[in-house]
């Protein structure tokens, strides 16, 4: 645990002290919306799981689940926009679109397999 704390602290200090070489890549609205939807859906599933495992958390989670989900989704979008290399913004956006398309196709195939569509097994 102590090593993990030192590692995280060193990463934070190194990133805070490093010069801002990387720029900012603005994602299009469609990708921002897709990432937000994905984060809200995953957190909704996590909150439902936590509510079943720890029933005493349900009142708090029910009150604030949308606010928490949207705040974390905005943080994820901001992290992705800052993490993308600004030297090639078009390529960076295409990579994000590819990842979102792969995740969407995996979800579609799972839904179709649950529905019993033949040819997916």
The string of pLDDT tens digits covering residues 67-84 is 889 999 999 998 988 888
Please state the domain count of the chain.
2
Residues 79 and 90 in one domain: no
Please identify which residue in the block is written with the tokens 């913004």: 89
pLDDT higher than 80, residue 17: no
Q: Does residue 9 sit within a domain?
A: no
In-domain check, residue 26: no
Query: Residue 4's pLDDT is what?
Result: 66
In the DSSP assignment, the letter for residue 26 is: P
* Predicted local distance difference test score (pLDDT) of residue 1: 67
Tokens 């979008």 belong to residue:
77
Residues 99 and 120 in one domain: yes
Per the structure, the complete domain to which residue 79 belongs is given by 32-83
In the predicted structure, residue 8 carries a pLDDT above the cut 70: no
* Residue 27 DSSP symbol: P
Q: Looking at the domain assignment, is residue 47 inside a domain?
A: yes
């Amino acid at each position: 645990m102590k090593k993990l704390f030192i590692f995280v602290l060193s990463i934070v200090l190194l990133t805070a002290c490093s010069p801002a070489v990387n720029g900012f890549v603005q994602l299009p609205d469609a990708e921002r919306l897709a990432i937000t939807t994905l984060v809200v859906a995953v957190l909704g599933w996590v909150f439902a799981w936590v509510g079943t495992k720890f029933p005493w958390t349900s009142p708090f989670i029910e009150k604030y689940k949308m606010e928490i989900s949207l705040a974390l989704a905005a943080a994820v979008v901001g992290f992705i926009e800052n993490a993308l290399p600004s030297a090639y913004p078009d390529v960076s956006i295409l990579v994000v679109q590819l990842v979102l398309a792969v995740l969407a196709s995996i979800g579609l195939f799972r839904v179709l397999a649950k529905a019993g569509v033949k040819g997916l097994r």
